[in-house]
A and B are shown apart, each in its own frame.
Chain A
């Protein structure tokens, strides 16, 4: 190698940019999270772990963690399962697959903020199309009997549908029992097309001869072949899809900002929205930074889990 320093000139710019744009801000955030700095204040005090203490003791932040984790636990399994199911169905089609791909992928490409406005109208308690449709079913005797369970002899008022017909249908985004579920539904609707595309790519990499071998070996049902070939061969795709979906769900922000602003009663107060509210709207950079650092911790853990699986269990070649 000699004494050449040329290599420094090659890697230098990239290292400097990475330090300046990625690593340095993290350290700044970590530093600020131990202070009570507010944007605009001339100085700040060193307050140690007080911000973190607040995160674990105050009920607002307990609600924040509950909302974020519930959202992730709802969206990830459902959007992964739907993505895989849609990919399997589409890949088994001879014609029309392209159309389905485009339709399911549409929400991924659409601007979520614009879509959120559409959802807001659709979910409007009085003029929204969702409740309109639900309400119209109440007058159709057969449908009402079916959905409320009264055809089985149950009391219609005991069922969700029968009760809602009698009282009214929920304020999807305005009721603290429904808001997070509704936001999660939109997240699933928006995200599963992306998972589907990843799974479709994963499916094309499964060698056809493996399926033929499975046929010869006696895996007669589609389920047997799925268990013997498809599922194990999708291992690397699974790890990637689950990690990406988890990180994306942790990052949910735009639907919350557009539809509920964290409410009602903090039921949709997810982490990134809390960061935004504390750090940007209220200028409380100290607590905002603390939330950011905890958030980074979650993402880091997810990434480490992914790296572990990629290196260990699912690497075949």
Chain B
């Protein structure tokens, strides 16, 4: 078990800069997710940790030791690949013992057939067999040991790939979008199983995904990456509740946050779409702002009660427990989405104009540079308004 640290890690391919100085400390036993859209550098970061790629500058430390010059296999890490990367010509059992044989047995002992004559092979083999059985037991893949990867379903291959990572009892697990080849139901199931496995093993997990839902549900902390930078690092609910950057706000959460174009004035008052918002800037200044509301923080109103936004209802997406109302609102691109309980939206029909308000205290306001703007404390706000 070990912590992992990145210090000012950069990576350039020719003239293309994909990582702009990543600093990251992953604690021992932590489940950390690197999440971001494709091309943000998250997989590159993972592969630099693994040693499959070399950083252009900066240091990678594992357990306090700089490993820049250390081979992937000597870093004591295991990796699970998106395509699983199982050896297709080997059985599940052979796939699981391969990393152990490569680590524990010498060249002579690994020669097929003749290796059986090498001294000390039997003892090592039975130890390896034990370790393999243990991993197979935890992942419940014992009945599959004699099959080849081609004869397994996606979920079973996934387990075998996890098993191959587990057998060596590595300091940390690196996972590169391990669930993205599974169907939706299995993916949700495997999320729970991975979290459970993390608890059981107590090992460090570094998990790369483009799926914000996986990041939110599974990790202790998540790092949101975009354009080669870590924009925000923190526990999932903090990142969700308190996004520091408009790109984070839009990327995390589904349906995504509604961004309303707004304006600040010198008194600190905020308007969005020309409607006053019940918040105030901590440092008043004039200029354009973006006011973000999550779908669950917008509420549909039966009539214009003042300080309401309005839009035309174009689509009601009924999920049973909730209904998503899609509104065409003048002044914003795309659609505004409101999350409501079915009975709250009974009165609204598709094609009608409806009114909605933002919940007080839930607005997330971003400046023209995309960074979060501090709002005044509620008491202050009332005094100024």
Task: Say yes or no for B266: interface residue by CB 8 A criterion.
Answer: no
Using known A-B contacts A224-B102, A228-B87, A233-B88, determine if residue A215 contacts B72 with beta carbons closer than 8 Å: yes
Shortest C-beta distance, B92 to chain A (Å), equals: 14
Query: Do the beta carbons of A209 and B81 come within 8 Å of each other?
Result: yes
Task: Say yes or no for A212: interface residue by CB 8 A criterion.
Answer: yes
Query: Do the beta carbons of B150 and A316 come within 8 Å of each other?
Result: yes
List residues of chain B with CB within 8 A of the CB of A210: 85, 87
Query: Do the beta carbons of A216 and B73 come within 8 Å of each other?
Result: yes
Using known A-B contacts A229-B87, A233-B88, determine if residue A218 contacts B73 with beta carbons closer than 8 Å: yes
**Chain B 82-107 residues near chain A, CB threshold 8 A:** 82-83, 85-90, 98-99, 102-103
Task: Say yes or no for B71: interface residue by CB 8 A criterion.
Answer: yes
Shortest C-beta distance, A315 to chain B (Å), equals: 8
List residues of chain B with CB within 8 A of the CB of A317: 88, 150
Query: Do the beta carbons of B102 and A209 come within 8 Å of each other?
Result: no
Closest A residue to B161 using CB positions? A213
Query: Do the beta carbons of B50 and A216 come within 8 Å of each other?
Result: yes
Query: Do the beta carbons of A207 and B99 come within 8 Å of each other?
Result: no
Shortest C-beta distance, A239 to chain B (Å), equals: 13
Shortest C-beta distance, B372 to chain A (Å), equals: 38
A to B contact number (C-beta, < 8 Å): 65
Query: Do the beta carbons of A220 and B83 come within 8 Å of each other?
Result: no
Task: Say yes or no for B368: interface residue by CB 8 A criterion.
Answer: no
Task: Say yes or no for B52: interface residue by CB 8 A criterion.
Answer: yes
List residues of chain A with CB within 8 A of the CB of B51: 215
Query: Do the beta carbons of A216 and B79 come within 8 Å of each other?
Result: yes
Q: CA of A233 to CA of B87 in the docked complex: distance in angstroms?
A: 9
Query: Do the beta carbons of B87 and A209 come within 8 Å of each other?
Result: no
Closest B residue to A223 using CB positions? B107
Contact of A218 among B83, B88, B102 (CB under 8 A): B102
Query: Do the beta carbons of B103 and A218 come within 8 Å of each other?
Result: yes
Query: Do the beta carbons of A215 and B73 come within 8 Å of each other?
Result: yes
Shortest C-beta distance, A203 to chain B (Å), equals: 16
Query: Do the beta carbons of A209 and B89 come within 8 Å of each other?
Result: no
**Chain B 45-94 residues near chain A, CB threshold 8 A:** 47, 50-52, 71-73, 77-79, 81-83, 85-90
Task: Say yes or no for B164: interface residue by CB 8 A criterion.
Answer: yes
Please report A residues at the B interface, Cβ cutoff 8 Å: 207, 209-210, 212-213, 215-220, 224, 228-229, 232-233, 235, 316-317
Given A216-B73, A224-B102, 18 other A-B residues pairs in contact with their CB atoms under 8 A:
A207-B85, A209-B82, A210-B85, A212-B47, A212-B81, A213-B81, A215-B51, A216-B77, A217-B98, A217-B99, A217-B102, A218-B73, A220-B71, A228-B87, A229-B87, A232-B90, A233-B88, A316-B148
List the 5 closest pairs (A to B, CB-CB), nearest first. A218-B102, A218-B73, A213-B85, A232-B89, A217-B99
